[in-house]
Amino acid sequence: MKLLSRKTTCNSHGQDSSYFLGWQEYEKNAYDEVLNPTGIIQMGLAENQLSFDLLESWLAKNPEAVGFKRDGESIFREMALFQDYHGLPIFKNALAEFMAEIRGNKVRFDPNKLVLTAGATSANETLMFCLAEPGEAFLLPTPYYPGFDRDLKWRTGVEIVPIQCSSSNSFQITESALEKAYRLAQKRKLKVKGVLITNPSNPLGTTMNLIELNLLISFVAAKGIHLISDEIYSGTVFNSPGFISITEALMDRNLHGSEVSNRVHIVYSLSKDLGLPGFRVGAIYSNNDTVVAAATKMSSFGLVSSQTQYLLSAMLSDKNFTSNYATENQKRLKKRHDMLVSGLQEAGIGCLKSNAGLFCWVDMRHLLSSKTFGAEKELWKKMLYQVGLNISPGSSCHCTEPGWFRVCFANMSEETLNHSMQRIKDFVDSTTDVVSRRHRLVVRNSRRRSSHDRDSER
């Protein structure tokens, strides 16, 4: 008799993907400025390491809040016992306000509609369990975060059907792409239960405009299906155009409180905006009471540690801190982004114009030996083993066009980033291909032009 479940032997956990293989190679030979200067630089991890000093100084200024004390009395016992899956009220209130603040207070969130989960990983899986049966499907625009293959599909049995987006229009979602995906699902005899978008996008680093958001709202309204908006990068928007949340788009169309708004759910987390992935703080926000009730019960399988809820409720309740943090963090992200973009341009490599996220969507199509995913894999291996950079190949993000790579810029020091740019430049210089040299010239010239039209669309 087969000893283990099908889940142990299938590949739906997605970890055989190159996205994760690169990480493994990095683990074996991690770069260190002093101890291992020829090691692999990790540029495949979307972490925000730029603003820890701000967090640390807040901690130093608030010893009572973080010392398990209230009015001088220890609250350790109260904290250690707190396991209510409704979550700590002061924490949920603070989180709801923090989310509103990120959206410029143009929208408000009701803490009672917030469900706490162990990271966005758990939030996304929980929503699948709530909204779809095994064998049903969600539509996702490509390229998308590789982790979705595990989070949405593995234990839930739900399928993902891609909404193919292309570089020809900067990977924006079109009506025809949506309809094509829907028809593809029907052809595969998969019942579509909803659409999941990531806004700001991972891996593109772009925010959606109102046209796209309206398109999505109309689409899900017409089809009677759900819309999940994963907004975990909402606080990383460092440049115009600003961030428009799905909630704002609904309000804009007077659909707040309507039937379709009952089918719109937001996923959030503090892993990217505050740079605290280790603390496992995720959330689901839904206007649908049944979803909130079911997700709340399911959160038992992955509650947020009460110790962490207590700490963060104090931190997020400090409005001075949160507004200063947001401004400073975005400034630093922009600086890093600009460093990466110009460094790549020096090497004749362009990026998709972006205004958010912890990474750039880098165009290396001209460096491919052929317009194939085989060639992309070759290039990825060269980058990993020869150049010593772990970057994420577009195929791992289900991109339909070979040659795009996601490169992270916020998880290392400035020196390391500069060093990685130098390595890329050296690698490209060593390429004797005439075509690529000509391309470099074109890209360098375009940099001089683009500084004049910052406000152009994408």
Partner 1 sequence: MVINSLLSVFISHCIDSNYYSNSLRLVIFRSEMVFTLSDQHHLLSKIATNDGHGENSPYFDGWKAYDSDPFHATKNSNGVIQMGLAENQLCFNFVQEWIKRNPKASICTVDGVTQFKDIAIFQDYHGLPEFRNAVANFMGRVRGGRVTFDPDRIVMSGGATGAHESITFCLADPGEAFLVPTPYYPGFDRDLRWRTGVQLLPVVCESSNNFKITEAALEAAYEKAQEAKIKVKGLLITNPSNPLGTILDRETLRSIVNFINQKNIHLVCDEIYAATVFTQPKFISISEIIEEDIECNRNLIHIVYSLSKDMGFPGFRVGIIYSYNNAVVNCCRKMSSFGLVSTQTQHLIASMLSDQEFVESFIAESAKRLAMRHRIFTRGLSQVDISCLKSNAGLFVWMDLRRLLKDSTVKAEMALWRMIIKDVKLNVSPGSSFHCSEPGWFRVCFANMDDDTMEVALRRIQTFVLKGKEADLEVKRQRWRNDILRLSLKPLRYDEMTMTPRSMMSPHSPIPHSPLVRART
List the interface residues with partner 1, window 277-306 (CB under 8 A): 277-280, 288-291, 294, 297-298, 300-306
Q: Which segments within 298-374 are labelled E, that is strand? A: 350-351, 359-363
Q: Whose structure tokens read 């972490």?
A: 47
Number of amino acids touching partner 1 (CB under 8 A): 71
Tell me: does residue 110 bind partner 1 (CB under 8 A): no
Give the three-state DSSP class for 285: strand
Residue 193 appears among annotated catalytic residues:
no
**246 close to 264: Cβ distance less than 8 angstroms:** yes
- Cα–Cα separations (whole angstroms), residue 28 to 41, 75, 385, 390: 11, 42, 12, 12
Q: Which of 262, 317, 416, 431 touches partner 1 by CB under 8 A?
A: 262
CB of 16 to partner 1, least distance (A): 11
Confirm if 154 and 130 have CB atoms less than 8 A apart: no
The interface with partner 1 within residues 316-355 (CB under 8 A) comprises none
Distance between CA atoms of 124 and 228, rounded to whole angstroms? 9
Closer Cβ to partner 1, 132 or 216, answer by number:
132
Asked if 178 and 214 touch (Cβ cutoff 8 Å), the reply is no
Contact positions with partner 1 (CB under 8 A) in 55-74: 55-56, 59-60, 63, 66-68, 74
From the candidates 149, 230, 273, 363, give the one annotated as an active-site residue. Answer: 230
Cβ proximity to partner 1: between 66 and 184 the closer is 66
Query: In angstroms, what CA-CA distances link 207 with 18, 234, 240, 448?
Result: 26, 9, 9, 24
Asked if residue 7 binds partner 1 (CB under 8 A), the reply is yes
Residue 200 makes contact with partner 1 by CB under 8 A: no
Catalytic residue among 92, 113, 153, 272: 272
The nearest distance, CB 295 to partner 1, in angstroms, is 8
Compare residues 148 and 404 and give the one whose CB is closer to partner 1: 148
**Does residue 433 carry a catalytic annotation?**
no
Which single residue is written with the structure tokens 């032009």? 449
Catalytic status, residue 272 = yes
Which of 26, 31, 145, 268 is flagged as catalytic? 145
Is 230 in the active site? Answer: yes
Task: Report whether 193 contacts 226 (CB < 8 A).
Answer: yes
β strands within 82-148, DSSP E: 114-117, 137-141
CB of 119 to partner 1, least distance (A): 7
The residue type found at 74 is S
Within 130-159, which residues bind partner 1 (CB under 8 A)?
A: 130-134, 150-151, 155
CB atoms within 10 A of CB 13: 16
The residue annotated as part of the active site, out of 225, 232, 246, 391, is 232
Instruction: Tell me the catalytic residues.
Output: 145, 230, 232, 272
